[in-house]
A and B are shown apart, each in its own frame.
Chain A
Amino acid sequence: MTAMGRSGGHGGHGGGHGSQRDREGKTAGRKKFFVRRRKVCKFCAEKLEYVDWKDVKLLASFIPERGKILPRRISGTCALHQRKLQTAIKRARAIALLPYATD
C-alpha cells in the first residue's frame, strides 16, 4: 500500500516541476501523509503464542475507551493472533475483568 502511494506521489512530483514554491509545498504535504509507522503484530513481535485471558493488563491495551475490541486495522495484530485475542477478551468479559461496553 505504501509503495503505491509513493509511486503516485512520484508522478505528481515530476509533473509539477514548474515553480520552486509549489514543489516545496507538495513535499511538506506528502511528508505529513506518509510518515507513518509500520504496524507490527504485538504477539508475533514478542513471540507470545498463548494469549492469556487472565492477563488483564495485556488485554486492556486492546480495549479503547468505549470498551470495544480494537480492530486489526488499527492495532496491526495478525489474523491468527487477533482471533486468539478475541476469545481471550470475551472470556475476560465473562468474569467482569473487562467491560462489555462503557459510555
Chain B
Amino acid sequence: MRLYDIVVLLTPDLSDEEAVKVSAEHRKLLTDGGAELVKDEPWGRRKLAYPIARKREAYYHHFQVTAEPATVAEVERKLRLSDQVLRHLAVRADEELKRAAKMTERLRVKAIKRPPRPPAAPPPTETAAPERAAERSEP
C-alpha cells in the first residue's frame, strides 16, 4: 500500500450538487478498489490559472488515499475516459514525506547535539557586518 495525492478537476458546466455527486462516484471507485481514504476535501469552484478546454473555472477535489498502485492506475484510466473530468493528477506522496520526516529528524538531532549555541542562533554575518562597518567609520 502506498500513499497517493489525487486531485481531480471537474467541468464548471456541472451544478454544485452534480459536482458533489461526481466526486462521490470517484470516491466509490477508489474505495471499491480497496483504497483507504486519508483525506477527502472538496476545494470547491476555483478559477483556473489558464483555460483548459475553453473553461476558465473548475471544481477541484482532493483525495489522499493509501492504495495499491494497480487501483490508482485503474481509477486514473477511468478519470481519463470521463467527460466531466477536465484534468487530474495522481502523485505518490509517501516517499517524499518519509524523506522529509527523516530530514526534520536529522535537523532536530543536530540541534540537540550542539548545546553551547542557542537553538535559534541569529545568522552570524548579519551581526558581524554592521560591527565592521562601525570600526571603519571611527578613524
Partner-B contacts on A (CB < 8 A): 2, 6, 10, 13, 27, 34, 37-38, 40, 47, 49-50, 53-54, 91, 93-100
Given contacts A2-B129, A40-B123, A91-B91, contact A50 B50 (CB under 8 A): no
Query: Are A10 and B107 interface neighbours, CB within 8 A?
Result: no
Total interface residues in chain B, CB < 8 Å:
30
Given contacts A2-B125, A38-B123, A54-B62, contact A96 B87 (CB under 8 A): yes
* Contact digits for B108-121, partner A, Cβ 8 Å, 1 yes 0 no: 00000000000000
Query: Are A50 and B97 interface neighbours, CB within 8 A?
Result: yes
The total number of A-B Cβ pairs within 8 Å is: 52
Given contacts A38-B126, A91-B89, contact A99 B50 (CB under 8 A): yes
Partner-A contacts on B (CB < 8 A): 5, 7, 9, 48-50, 52, 58, 60, 62, 87-89, 91, 96-97, 99-101, 103-104, 107, 123, 125-126, 129, 132-133, 136-137
Query: Are A27 and B126 interface neighbours, CB within 8 A?
Result: no
